[in-house]
Structure 1
Amino acid sequence: MSLDVLMKTCAICLGSVETGQGQAIFTAECSHSFHFACIGNSVTHGNYLCPVCRARWNDLPFVMPHLNPNANNRSIDHESFPDIRNLFFPAPQQLLPVRHRPVFEPEPLQFSDDEPLPAVTADVSPSGLQNVSIKAVPERPAVAASESIPRFAVLVGLRAPSLSEDARLMQRAPIDLVTVLDVSGSMHGSKLTLLKRAVNFVVDSLGPLDRLSVVSFSTQARRIFPLRRMTEHGRDDAKRAVNLLLASGSTNIVEGLKKGVQVLEERHHHNPVASIIFLSDGRDTCNHGYQLPTFSNQRQPPQYLHLLPASICPGNRGTQDQDQREIFPVHAFGFGSDHDPLTMHAISDSSAGTFSFIESYEMVQDAFASCIGGLLSVVTQELRLMVRSASHGVEIKSIPSGRYASEISDQGSQGTINIGDLYADEEKEFLINISVPILMNAEGEESERRTSLLDITCSYRDVVSKEIVQIEGDLVEIRRPESPSPPDLVVNLEVDRQRNRLNAAESIAEAQRMADTGNLSGAQSLLSNRRSALLASPSGQAGDGLCMWLEAEMKETEQRMGSRHRYEREGRAYALSNMSAHGYQRATTRGSWAAAAFGGSASFCSGDLSARASASFNGYMTPHMADMVSRSQQLNKTEDATASRPQQLNKTEDATPNNSQQLNKTEDATARQE
């Protein structure tokens, strides 16, 4: 959204403030314009600062005290909820003194007032989706019978089924979503306007079975909208609540997240998926958590994180609640260059969420779109991958599973990875490192000599039928000839590219740790060397799309560590967002980048990241996520075009008198010639 368009937009309702549309316009002394009805209601509630630039107004819009702001508002359609008109527009005679007037009614003691879900029918038939697919690829197809290998890799991949266009609502899990939004003073102006647009996009994307609650925080936190279904009425009321937000006060991250968790913990009804979207543009200034950057020691997240609930920070569990129930993923969005990336990454990482770095303010809607595209396409839950040794002497040595919990048991004969939710078309790939023994009984035909390596199975819960599904993969085997042929010695490119992914993720994490201790040149040198090694690998030489994308990401991270100032402003956040994406193999937004289409084009708004190298691979982004981003971008283009149309019309009208004057001059000249 361009700033020129923002100047033609009412920052309160986000509608156009072009003249000639049948609405009274108030233009303040600071030159910002608003609908008179919108700004009049804001001033009635004691807000005498410009919602855009925060300038104090001397000339205020005059509002008649008997005006009834309830006339055109729709009440909530469920009798268990208070009238939304009273919630947002208290009667004038009930107003408190200026600066102490609440816009929203008092919160209940408990948030068990969530809107009930529709009754579940007795039909629990499967969702109609295909099953999760399993693939397994050994590092090499053959190993000499007389050879033992202490570390041999087997790539195991899982892929979720697709969602059909005509049955998306029936094949995915409905969601309970809480947005926790920073509305401190630093969010004033275009930042808050763009945030409102982004949240309204999320509202429009949710279905009637999905529920949304909105929490805002500055010095204190408030639940400004209860957990309600996004029916037509629910969407209208949610937008009305969001559009009334104003920026002021300090930043209290702890209270904001506590309030968001409270909504989910105290709800009476439960959708299968529950998540928190958390956005902030600053550091917590209310819990003594601010830490000045220091290069004498590695920076750590602030101590105030121990104040957060265990349902988003499991490390805060006491000895009595180690078996605590649900963990709510927090998808954190650091907005601009002044947010606290260490804190936001730590919160998202501990809750199995993602951390995105929104460098350009105009990117916030696309970033939300990518995230919500995944959350609205959950097709499997409680996904668990199990591998078991299939022969004596084959031992599981290690499972580098990123941020997914893994375990090796039974003296190396069994391994498990707990993955959890899977989005439609999402893929997860893991390297299982095993030992391959000498083939002791090398009898029979050489072509038939084989060693069975791994049995692979997975289990998950179908989101529609709620039934547990068990899937068995093919037995993983390799040939055991006396002397392998040259093709038998070639490492599989899929295994090699997965090694490159793990190496790139570890390189970025290691460089980030070095940069935090002040060794910026060492961090850059490490990334440069690892990039060269990646490009020299078999998959890099083959021009593999993932490898090209990894190399471009490492190069961009390296460049953002070019100076202490740049690292503090953007490099740390960029690296941590990268680490979040690789740790969970899930897409995040970084810098000023947004994927325009899956497997297609990509747009890079700043920096010199090699777009052409990575355009064919938009790391971890699923088709549904990319489709949601494309919808967001198309909506922005449409709104830009709509906002600019009145201006073009005015120019045309202005030119009309000139055309008439020219015509008159021509007629006069003709008359003189005659």
Structure 2
Amino acid sequence: MGRSFSMLAGAPPPPYGGSLFGPPAISAFNDDEPVELSPLDDGWEVVQEATNNGVLVLTTHCEHPAVARDAAQENFAVLVHAKAPVAAAEASERAPLDLVTVLDVSGSMSGSKLGLLKQAMGFVIDHLGPGDRLSIVAFSCRAHRIIRLTCMTDGGKALARDAVESLTANGSTNIGDGLRVAAEVIDGRRHGNPVSSVILLSDGQDNHTLRQGGDGPFGGAKSYIDLVPRSLRRGTGNGCSTVHTFGFGTDHDAAAMHAIAEVTGGTFSFIQNHAVVQDSFAQCTGGLLSVAVQEARVAVECLQAGRPVVVADTEPSVEVARERFHVEAAEDIAAARAAAERGAHAEAARILDRRQEASAAAGLAGDARCAALVAELRELSARVANRREYEQTGGACLLAGISSHASTVQLFGPGCQGWSAVTGVSRHLGQGHPRPPWGPWHPLQNRSGHRMGHLRSRTQGFRRRPLRPRTQRRQCREW
């Protein structure tokens, strides 16, 4: 005998197309289940105390050990690796999560796609803890909240599983309405966990919001930014809830999904093989469930320590060379996409091929991380070589690559003046994104088995004006 649901408690809605599918009033979304421990309660204070008493682990690498007094060098890079405190990794708790999943249940998701989606959602539900809360939004021609923000206790998990199993696929695709309802769920909360995020999965193209056109910055007449409610946009709303997007199959609108992730500070992943949707979700939620430190800020200052007359060791840092190759490869992926978009597929392939050859010239041929990146570049080159392959999978793969490398692409970017902090600093140390293709995340495990821990050597970089013979003191900048 199945469970009985009331609509207020998050019941599955009737089949799509009924008159009950008008958008719920915003007041319907202030019924989130109270969190067991709020950030002001003792349980979270223990975690914060453990974190605050820990030491943020910083490792720096200069491009050269020293620069001779009479030498002039155009650029001088310093890399700063930030890792969460050991105390945070050893804590018995982690930051609880509010997660809203926005699921495409349009007609194209019928059959095996919907079955795999349900399986992936079951995995997500299984790995949430009792302090986490989950809300499920389903959309086709209209969007509906299937379950309110519910604590993932045993009873809450059972409710969520039943709600997922009730999903059926039919109708058209209205991504904008799905995100609207997700934003209302986040904004309407009476209680709030320290971390909140949205996961969006779709296999199609929005044929409701985007039909109205517009002048958004991402796609001309296709105003992709109109798909994103203002409260979810980075810098305009609460600024705390990123949207991680997943393009399912070859028919989804990769440009729209990438734009949604970009404007919210999230990531875009392309799921070409339907069977790996669970792995893709696992990589994303694994990062969201490993937050140890939020809003970490590090001050960096250049001291006037003097420069030697003669420098014995002039070998450049391998760490800096590795990161420079990564950054330049990310820039080349973006350049290859620009070439492919204007139909210059041979040029796009050449850009990526040249970057592969550059790894040997930089002395990085034996580096495992660079080897993985070279393999990615080789695959991308094959996907942009002709128009058919690019339109089928190459465009989405390039956008996913741009998204996964976005945290580092500006480290050596042009136009830096003086000492400047660059973008890509994670708001949450220990918070990961879907695993990039060039290397794994290495989360620490705490005593209770939660993935806590440290940021996967995400590198922050600083670049200064050309280094001239006379050293000048630089002001401290903070990020």
> With structure 1 as the length reference, what TM-score do the two structures score?
0.57
Do residues 118 (structure 1) and 36 (structure 2) align? Answer: yes
Q: 1:205 aligns with which of 119, 127, 136?
A: 127
The answer to whether residue 401 in structure 2 is matched with residue 574 in structure 1 is no
Contact 1:358/1:589 (<8 A) preserved: no
Deviates more, 1:490-499 or 1:136-145: 136-145
How far apart are the structure 1 equivalents of 2:233 and 2:406? 17
Corresponding residue pairs, total: 415
- How does 1:127-276 map onto structure 2 within 5 Å? 127-129=49-51, 130-161=54-85, 167-168=91-92, 170=93, 172-276=94-198
CA distance in structure 1 between the partners assigned to 2:352 and 2:56 by the alignment: 36
Evaluate the alpha carbon distance shift between residue 481 and residue 162 of structure 1 in structure 2; reply closer, same or farther with a 3 A threshold: closer
Aligned to 1:522: 347
Question: Match of 2:209, SS?
Answer: coil
SS of the counterpart of 1:623?
A: coil
Report the residue type matching 2:238 in the other structure: R
- The letter of the residue matching 1:118 is E
1:537 to 347, 362, 371: 362
**Structure 1 residues 220 and 83, CA gap change in structure 2 (3 angstroms):** closer
- Is the 2:233–2:239 contact (alpha carbons within 8 Å) kept by the matching residues of 1? no
Secondary structure at 2:186 match in 1: helix
Of 327, 334, 339, the residue aligned with 1:502 is 327
- In structure 2, what is the Cα distance between the partners aligned to 1:628 and 1:501? 30
Secondary structure of the residue that 1:198 maps to in structure 2?
A: helix
Q: Which residue of 2 aligns with 1:366?
A: 279
Aligned equivalent of 1:309: 229
Corresponding residue of 1:295: none
Q: 1:106 to 1:510 in 2, by over 3 A?
A: closer
What is the DSSP-based 3-state SS (H/G/I as helix, E as strand, rest coil) of the residue aligned with 2:349?
helix
Q: More relative contact order in 1 or in 2 (CA 8 Å, sep 6+)?
A: 2
SS of residue in 2 equivalent to 1:149: coil
* SS of structure 1 residue aligned to 2:29: coil
Alignment of 1:633-672 (within 5 A): none
- Tell me: CA distance 1:339–1:379, structure 2 relative to 1, closer, same or farther (3 Å): same
Sort the Cα spacing of 1:83 and 1:257 in 2 relative to 1 into closer, same or farther, 3 A: closer
Q: How does 1:485-634 map to 2 (within 5 A)?
A: 485=312, 488-538=313-363, 540-541=364-365, 543-584=366-407, 587-588=433-434, 619-623=439-443
Counterpart Cα distance in 2 of 1:99 and 1:482: 79
SS in 2 for 1:118: coil
**Which one has the largest radius of gyration?**
1
Pairwise CA distance, 1:239? 0.6
Counterparts in 2 of 1:260 and 1:301: CA distance versus 1, 3 Å: farther
Preserved CA contact (<8 Å) 1:107 1:223: no
Deviation at 1:165, TM superposition (A): 8.4
Residue 620 of structure 1: CA displacement?
4.9
The verdict on how the C-alpha distance between 1:620 and 1:299 changes in structure 2, with shifts beyond 3 A counting, is farther
Residue 270 of structure 2 aligns to a residue in which SS? strand
- Could you tell me how far 1:570 is from its partner in structure 2? 0.8
Distance 2:12 2:319 in 1: 56
Separation (CA, whole Å) in 2 of partners of 1:623 and 1:301: 42
Secondary structure of 2:149's partner? strand
Are 2:101 and 1:278 aligned? no
Question: What is the match of residue 483 of structure 1?
Answer: 310
- How far apart are 1:260 and its partner, in Å? 0.6
- Classify 1:82/1:104 alpha carbon distance in 2 versus 1 (closer, same or farther; 3 Å): farther
**1:113 match: secondary structure:** coil
Partner Cα distance (1:176, 1:140) in 2: 44
**Which residues in structure 2 correspond to 1:381-460 (within 5 Å)?**
381-391=294-304, 450-451=305-306
Q: What displacement does 1:118 show?
A: 1.9
Shift of 1:284: 0.5
Residues 405-458 of structure 1 show CA distances to partners (whole Å, capped at 9, x for unaligned) of: xxxxxxxxxxxxxxxxxxxxxxxxxxxxxxxxxxxxxxxxxxxxx53xxxxxxx
CA pair 490-194 structure 1, distance change in 2 beyond 3 A: same
Q: Distance in 2 between matches of 1:242 and 1:366?
A: 18
- CA deviation after TM superposition for structure 1 residue 362, in Å: 0.4
CA contact (8 A) 1:301 1:346 kept: no
**SS at structure 2 position matched to 1:489:** coil
More strand by share: 1
Sequence identity (%): 40
Residues 108, 503 of structure 1: alpha-carbon distance in 2 compared, 3 angstrom cutoff: closer
Report if aligned partners of 1:509, 1:579 keep a CA contact under 8 Å in 2: yes
Shift of 1:623: 3.2
Partner of 1:407: none
Q: Which amino acid aligns with 1:114?
A: D
Name the CA distance, whole Å, in 2 between partners of 1:253 and 1:104: 15
Change over 3 Å in CA distance of 1:165–1:140 after alignment to 2: closer
1:338-357 equivalences under 5 Å are 338-357=251-270
AA partner of residue 232 (structure 2) = I
Letter in 2 for 1:309: P
What code does the residue aligned with 1:510 have?
A
Return the alpha-carbon distance in structure 2 between the equivalents of residues 105 and 515 of structure 1: 40
| CA distance in 2 between partners of 1:353 and 1:192 (Å) | 24
C-alpha deviation, 1:329, in angstroms: 0.3
Distance 1:256 1:236 in 2: 23
